[in-house]
Amino acid sequence: MKLKINIPSKLSEITLEQYQKYLQLLEDNEDEAVNSIFFRMKLLEIFCGIPYPEMHNIRVKDVEEIVQIIFDTLDNKPDLVLNFQMGDTEFGFVPNLEDMTFGEYIDLDNHIGDWKNIHKAMAVLYRPIEHKKGDKYIIQEYKGDNYHDIMKYMPLDAVFGSIVFFYHLGIDCTKGMTNYLEEQAKQEGFDKALDISGVGINQYTHLLREILDDLKVSLD
């Protein structure tokens, strides 16, 4: 019986959820188990969708080749992906990070360094495109957890690309976002609330800088 195997050769052919399952597999198995037959069979199950009972019909040589292709694919370092399609919806990367609201930033910072929940951060960075003209587009306003679960199915190249983008532009983003968040705090009355609670705006600014520094570290 011939078995048709779909082997991902590009990160765009792998979903975030598949990668999360892969990381969980690594976490659940000791380092010495990575070379085990069980680990390889789980890789084929995660990335190729091969049911466990059917794996017994695959030659050992073919398994090794498939596993190597998967590892090579995961080793790719993509550029920033500005938009991608999921079903009938096109998602676009946030056009201007300095337009990010305080709520968006908090959700991004809380989840960007946590692979188990990074899909929640991706829901901040990528939103459905509502209007598009050429290379320009307008994305949907952030609506909290509306797209958290959906983003588990986004292509992995977009995830990797956005993380690399944030890491390399970390310094510029830190300066711009800190200034922006300071202004937002003043405009939205956070300075008054902080004064009442005994925390001054200067201390608040210091906290923001610490948070942004943590963001850069978490992307390393």
Buried/exposed code over 49-64 (b: 16+ C-beta within 10 A; e: otherwise) = ebeeeebeebeeeebe
pLDDT for 74-96, tens place per residue?
998 888 999 999 999 999 999 88
pLDDT the model gives residue 213: 53
pTM given for the model: 0.74
pLDDT at 83: 94
Alpha carbons within 13 angstroms on the beta-carbon side of residue 23 total 12
Higher per-residue confidence, 50 vs 218: 50
Residue type, 138: I
Domains of the chain, by residue range, sit at 11-74, 83-218
Residue whose C-alpha is closest to residue 89's, from 139, 36, 145 = 139
Give the mean model confidence (pLDDT) for residues 168-197. 49
Q: pLDDT tens, 84-140?
A: 999 999 999 998 877 888 888 888 888 888 899 999 999 999 999 999 988 899 999
Instruction: Quickly count: other Cβ atoms within 10 Å of residue 184's Cβ.
Output: 15
